[in-house]
């Protein structure tokens, strides 16, 4: 089957299970609220207003775990799984393995998330950043102290892989469209990354060698799962909504292979100027800078695709989310190429700069792209038009402005912190200087939360009371500007 | 090039394996047995209970006796491990790093830069380096402050550091400041941090 035909027409719609998409999108949005509220509460601790004092289960540290892990495993994984249920059948022309398995995966995954939350709240988190899901064992031993959530995640991931690898395998004689390259490789990487990051440092590698692996894990989770899924998603939805092919297929080939080769090599850059051997650090720095070149090819490809269709930024909310996300993506990755050098690292590592960077990539880029997908898919899933146009606009503007304020605020806070630390200022003075920035952060967080409630209410009301679905309202005109 | 098997085997497994070799196997080979840096088990680390642990046993005899019995390598090991579990569980390591870099005057502020050797032990598996310093680095914390300071600080951080943003952890202590099992463990663990650095006795490290 011709990939371009699959993209441009409605071909393959009948193969899609809309119920599962709806369930995953909605669950993802709910866990995004959990993540955001937790992050907001955590930010209040920095201002002295944390509301749940003196409880060992509700201490602020636990809310940080909730914030990061629910954003990754609750929101992005659910969102990307929904995306896969739409994209894989349409591009391969094959159904996913089984709808029943899909239901099982959905409930198993939500159960895993709830168990993980229980673990964080009762001191059972694993000491691996972005992989705090409880192992169920005391560190380094096989004494059980909780449900082995990590093992369940592996089982869940294997089920997801089986679910989507079967249609991909059935289509193995076809030439794959670039989206499927990312999906195929990303699913393999997901399993390998999770196994490596959660097992090796915990039971096999202590200290600095383990740090090299946890650095690789943090990096691979973003680079080999979130990024391939995100890019694959963009390569599918942008041409679909714009109703024109991607600008350069060759450039997308370069982007894919360069991501596959360079991205995982940069893992150690999370622990620079550390006891990890210098040659490993230099390798990570060089390849991280190389990634910036790759990212540029991808971003150029997307913007050249938009050329001649600029009005789509006005007429299609999805395209607006995608392209604002793409601009943020370029900013984050450009920042990455600089901040990975030792010159920047000695100032900005350990400061809010890094926090700002992480917020822009997680909430400014991949979340924006997933919101774009929600904008486009939710009315189709519900067979209703969006309930409120103004809520859509509020959602967009609250997030765009809020994320940008947070990013710049934390970047400056990081510089202030970094230089004050270098200049041997008293630690209390560093905290006092940081306080205004933390106020701004909480303010921008409130904007983001308001935007989130706008979209949630809108999603709910659309499903309940939206007008009957009209395809034309959601498509960009075929003609050029 | 654009088919399923290429993507699975070359991109999926192949590229991952190259990165795994360079980012895991190579550093591990460099660090394994580097300068005779053998892995220290918890029993080895707890051979000699610290003076702070002994002091806790004398200052809070009832609580100590109830939870740990006598001062011994075994009870010291138990306290260290439990202390680390609490430190991990309460996500302390998300706001306190545990390595001193050779840049940004960190050796002036905290002490000798970290070496790979001192992380080659059971209490650094997985390591707790952290990526953020809201509070100061703790890699050289052991012996710097008294047990009393730590207890006061845990009960109400602002009482000793007025501008602190650290949460209070009063639930590990009774109203008179007598630590329970986890309280003793947490203080013992903090007083242990940095003490495995070879060849430098505690007393020397804390002189300016």
What confidence category does residue B201 fall into, taking pLDDT thresholds of 50, 70 and 90? very low
Q: Which of A207, A262, A345, A423 to mutate to test the interface with B (most CBs of B within 10 A)?
A: A207
According to the model, what pLDDT value does residue A7 have? 45
Q: Which residues of A touch B127 (CB under 8 A)?
A: 127, 201, 206-208, 210-211, 214
Q: Does residue A336 sit at the B interface (CB-CB below 8 Å)?
A: no
Name residue, tokens 């792209």. A369
Domain boundaries, chain B: 1-32, 40-205
Helices marked H in A307-316 — which ranges? 312-315
pLDDT exceeds cutoff 60 at B208:
no
pLDDT exceeds cutoff 80 at B2:
no
> Does the pTM exceed 0.80?
yes
What confidence category does residue B35 fall into, taking pLDDT thresholds of 50, 70 and 90? low
According to the model, what pLDDT value does residue A226 have? 95
Q: Which residues of A touch B20 (CB under 8 A)?
A: 196, 216, 264
According to the model, what pLDDT value does residue A85 have? 96
Q: Does residue A161 sit at the B interface (CB-CB below 8 Å)?
A: no
The neighbouring-strand residues paired with A384 are: A468
Q: Which residues of B touch A172 (CB under 8 A)?
A: 3-5
According to the model, what pLDDT value does residue B203 have? 46
With an 8 Å Cβ cutoff, are B126 and A188 in contact? no
A311 alpha carbon, distance to own chain's centre: 27
Q: Which residues of B touch A268 (CB under 8 A)?
A: 23, 27
Asked if residue A379 lies in contact with residue A386, where contact means CB atoms within 8 angstroms, the answer is yes
According to the model, what pLDDT value does residue A207 have? 86
Buried b (16+ CB within 10 A) or exposed e, A185-206: bbbbbbbbbbebbbebbbbebb
pLDDT exceeds cutoff 80 at B120:
yes
Asked if residue A218 lies in contact with residue A198, where contact means CB atoms within 8 angstroms, the answer is no
What confidence category does residue B36 fall into, taking pLDDT thresholds of 50, 70 and 90? low
According to the model, what pLDDT value does residue A471 have? 76
Quickly name the fold that domain B40-205 has. Answer: Cytochrome Bc1 Complex; Chain D, domain 2 (1.10.760)
Q: Which residues of A touch B105 (CB under 8 A)?
A: 422-424
Say which residues have a Cβ less than 8 Å from residue A25's Cβ, sequence separation at least 6. Answer: A78, A79, A82, A374, A377, A378, A381, A459
The CB density around residue A175, as the number of other CB atoms within 10 Å, is: 12
Residue ranges in chain A modelled with pLDDT below 50: 1-9
- DSSP string for A86-107: HHHHHHHSS--S-HHHHHHHHH
Q: What is the average pLDDT value for chain B, to the nearest integer?
A: 89
According to the model, what pLDDT value does residue B198 have? 54
According to the model, what pLDDT value does residue A9 have? 46
Query: Which letter does DSSP use for residue A129 in this model?
Result: T
What confidence category does residue B1 fall into, taking pLDDT thresholds of 50, 70 and 90? low
pLDDT exceeds cutoff 80 at B204:
no
CA B56 to chain A, closest CA, distance in angstroms equals 23
Asked if residue B44 lies in contact with residue B71, where contact means CB atoms within 8 angstroms, the answer is no
According to the model, what pLDDT value does residue B196 have? 81
With an 8 Å Cβ cutoff, are A265 and B91 in contact? no
Measured in degrees and rounded to the nearest 5, phi and psi for residue A414 equal -65, -40
According to the model, what pLDDT value does residue B192 have? 94
Domain boundaries, chain A: 11-174
- DSSP string for A241-299: HHTS--S-HHHHHHHHHHHHHHGGGGGGGGGTTSSS-HHHHHHHHHHHHHHHHHHHHHH
CA B172 to chain A, closest CA, distance in angstroms equals 9
């Amino acid at each position: 089957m011709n990939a371009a035909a699959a993209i441009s027409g409605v071909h393959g719609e009948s193969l899609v299970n809309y119920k599962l998409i709806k369930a995953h999108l909605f669950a993802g949005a709910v866990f995004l609220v959990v993540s955001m509220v937790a992050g907001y509460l955590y930010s209040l601790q920095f201002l002295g207003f944390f509301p749940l004092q003196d409880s060992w289960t509700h201490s602020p540290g636990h809310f940080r775990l909730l914030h990061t892990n629910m954003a990754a495993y609750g929101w992005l994984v659910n969102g990307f799984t929904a995306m896969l249920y739409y994209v894989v059948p349409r591009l391969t022309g094959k159904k996913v393995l089984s709808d029943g398995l899909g239901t099982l995966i959905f409930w198993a995954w939500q159960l895993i998330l709830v168990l993980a939350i229980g673990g964080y709240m009762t001191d059972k988190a694993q000491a691996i950043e972005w992989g705090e899901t409880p192992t169920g064992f005391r560190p380094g031993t096989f004494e059980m102290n909780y449900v082995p959530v990590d093992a369940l995640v592996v089982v869940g991931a294997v089920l997801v892989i089986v679910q989507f690898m079967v249609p991909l395998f059935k289509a193995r004689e076809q030439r794959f469209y670039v989206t499927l390259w990312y999906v195929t490789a990303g699913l393999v990487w997901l399993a390998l990354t999770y196994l490596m990051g959660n097992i090796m440092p915990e039971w096999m590698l202590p200290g600095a060698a383990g740090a090299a692996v946890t650095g690789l894990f943090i990096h691979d989770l973003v680079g080999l799962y979130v990024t391939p899924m995100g890019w694959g998603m963009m390569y599918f939805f942008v041409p679909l909504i714009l109703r024109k092919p991607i600008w350069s297929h060759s450039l997308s080939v370069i982007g894919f292979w360069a991501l596959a080769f360079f991205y995982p090599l940069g893992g150690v850059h999370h622990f620079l100027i550390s006891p990890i051997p210098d040659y490993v650090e230099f390798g990570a720095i060089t390849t991280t800078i190389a990634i910036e070149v790759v990212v540029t090819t991808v971003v150029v490809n997307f913007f050249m695709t938009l050329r001649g269709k600029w009005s789509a930024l006005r007429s299609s909310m999805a395209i607006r989310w995608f392209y604002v996300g793409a601009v943020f993506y370029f900013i984050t990755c450009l920042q990455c190429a600089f901040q990975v050098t030792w010159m920047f690292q000695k100032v900005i590592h350990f400061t809010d700069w890094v926090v700002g960077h992480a917020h822009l990539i997680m909430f400014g880029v991949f979340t924006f792209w997933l919101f774009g997908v929600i904008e486009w898919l939710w009315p189709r899933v519900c067979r209703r038009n969006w309930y409120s146009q103004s809520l859509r606009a509020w959602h967009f503007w609250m997030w765009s402005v809020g994320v940008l304020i947070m990013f710049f605020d934390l970047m400056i806070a990081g510089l202030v912190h970094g230089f004050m630390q270098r200049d041997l200022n008293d630690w209390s003075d560093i905290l006092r200087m940081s306080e205004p920035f933390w106020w701004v952060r909480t303010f921008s967080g409130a904007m983001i939360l308001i935007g989130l409630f706008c979209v949630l209410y809108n999603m709910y009301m659309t499903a309940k009371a939206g007008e009957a679905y009209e395809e034309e309202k959601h498509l960009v005109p075929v003609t050029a500007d | 090039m654009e088919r399923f098997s290429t993507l699975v085997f070359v991109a999926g497994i192949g590229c991952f394996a190259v990165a795994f070799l360079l980012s895991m196997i190579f550093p591990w080979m460099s660090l394994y047995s580097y300068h005779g840096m053998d892995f220290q088990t918890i029993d080895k680390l707890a051979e000699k209970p610290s003076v702070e642990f002994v002091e806790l046993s004398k200052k809070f005899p009832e609580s100590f006796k109830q939870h740990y019995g006598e001062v011994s390598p075994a009870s010291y090991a138990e306290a260290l491990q439990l202390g680390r579990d609490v430190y991990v569980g309460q996500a302390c390591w998300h706001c306190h790093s545990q390595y001193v870099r050779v840049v940004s005057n960190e050796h002036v502020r905290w002490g000798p830069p970290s070496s790979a050797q001192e992380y080659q032990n059971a209490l650094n598996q997985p390591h707790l380096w952290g990526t953020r310093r809201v509070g100061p680095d703790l890699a050289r914390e052991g012996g710097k402050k008294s047990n009393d300071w730590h207890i006061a600080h845990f009960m109400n951080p602002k009482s000793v550091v007025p501008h602190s943003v650290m949460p209070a952890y009063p639930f590990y202590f009774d109203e008179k400041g007598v630590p329970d099992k986890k309280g003793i463990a947490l203080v013992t663990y903090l007083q242990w941090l940095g003490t495995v650095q070879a060849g430098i006795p505690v007393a020397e490290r804390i002189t300016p």
